[in-house]
Structure 1
Amino acid sequence: MVAVSKNRPQELTRAELEIMRILWAEGPAVVHALLDAMEEPRPAYNTVSTIVRILEKKGFVGHKAYGKTHEYYPLISKDDYARRYMDTVLDNFFGGSLSRLVSFFSDHKAISVEETDAILNLLRDKK
Structure 2
Amino acid sequence: MEIKELTRAEEQVMQELWKLGKAFVKDIIEQMDEPKPAYNTVSTIIRILEAKGFVDHESFGKSHRYFAKVSKDAYKEFATGKLLSGYFDNSPRSMLSFFLQEHKLDVKETDELLRLLEKAKKK
Judge same fold: TM > 0.5, yes or no: yes
Give, as a single letter, the amino acid of the residue that structure 2 aligns with 1:105: F
The alignment of Structure 1 onto Structure 2 pairs a total of residues equal to: 121
CA distance in 2, matches of 1:124, 1:59: 38
Matched with 1:32 is 26
Matched with 1:77 is 71
1:83-102 equivalent positions in 2, closer than 5 A: 83-102=77-96
1:9-48 equivalent positions in 2, closer than 5 A: 9-48=3-42
Q: Which runs of 5+ in 2 are unaligned?
A: none
Instruction: Out of 95-104 and 34-43, give the one that drifted further.
Output: 34-43
SS at match of 2:22: coil
1:49-68 equivalent positions in 2, closer than 5 A: 49-68=43-62
Instruction: Tell me by how many angstroms 1:33 deviates.
Output: 1.3
SS at match of 1:73: strand
Q: Which runs of 5+ in 1 are unaligned?
A: none
CA distance in 2, matches of 1:105, 1:26: 30
Instruction: Tell me by how many angstroms 1:80 deviates.
Output: 1.1
SS at match of 2:28: helix
SS at match of 1:11: coil
* Structure-2-length-normalised TM-score: 0.90
Instruction: Tell me by how many angstroms 1:124 deviates.
Output: 1.9
**2:98 paired residue among 104, 110, 115:** 104
Give, as a single letter, the amino acid of the residue that structure 1 aligns with 2:5: E
Structure with greater contact order relative to length (CA < 8 Å, sep ≥ 6) = 1
